[in-house]
Amino acid sequence: MSAIRYPRVKLLLLMALFAAPLVVAWVMVTWRVAIPEARTAHGRLAPEVPALAEWPLLAPATGEGWRLAFDCRLDCADQADRWWRLHRALGREAPRVERLRIVAAGAPGQETLPGERLARWRMPPAWSEPGALWLLSPQGEVLLGYSPGAPLREVMDDLQHLLRVNPERDLASN
């Protein structure tokens, strides 16, 4: 009789080993144990910033996809290089994002870097400060705002998260 019972115990232990993760997951979901309530973005939500179509720009900013818009009134060359490097670090996701460099109305002509568009403020709005960065949706809505000198890693984390949770639509199937 003991020769039959021992393999049954092994089988029950093996079944318990495979069922344990399911039970633990069920307990975590049911009683909300060890589950983070929300993910926090590094940038700040910017409800005071209007949609891109309402920005006081001399020419409307056109384009598709996600945008990194930055106010380039001070130290423009360094800012443009900084955001160009972040854009390059996106790798295969880089074509989904474009950069919008916004300069003062009277600023001399500037050469744009690849993946970048140039726009000019008619008059800088009160909600903008030199060096600020905004992350815009494909519809032109401002999602996140960053203060001047925001760490690249934080902007990169937020942008990669948005690109991951908003996969590119397959244009061939439309």
Contact 115, 88 (CB under 8 A): no
* pTM over the 0.85 mark: no
Give, for all 174 residues of the chain, the pLDDT tens digit.
455 668 888 899 999 999 999 999 999 888 888 777 666 777 788 778 898 888 888 877 777 789 999 988 888 888 888 999 999 998 998 888 999 998 887 777 677 788 788 888 888 888 888 889 999 988 889 899 998 888 999 999 999 988 888 887 654 444
User: CA angle at residue 168 from 163 to 174, to 5 degrees?
Assistant: 160
Domain 44-173 has CATH 3.40.50.620: no
Rounded Cα gap, residues 65 and 89, in angstroms = 17
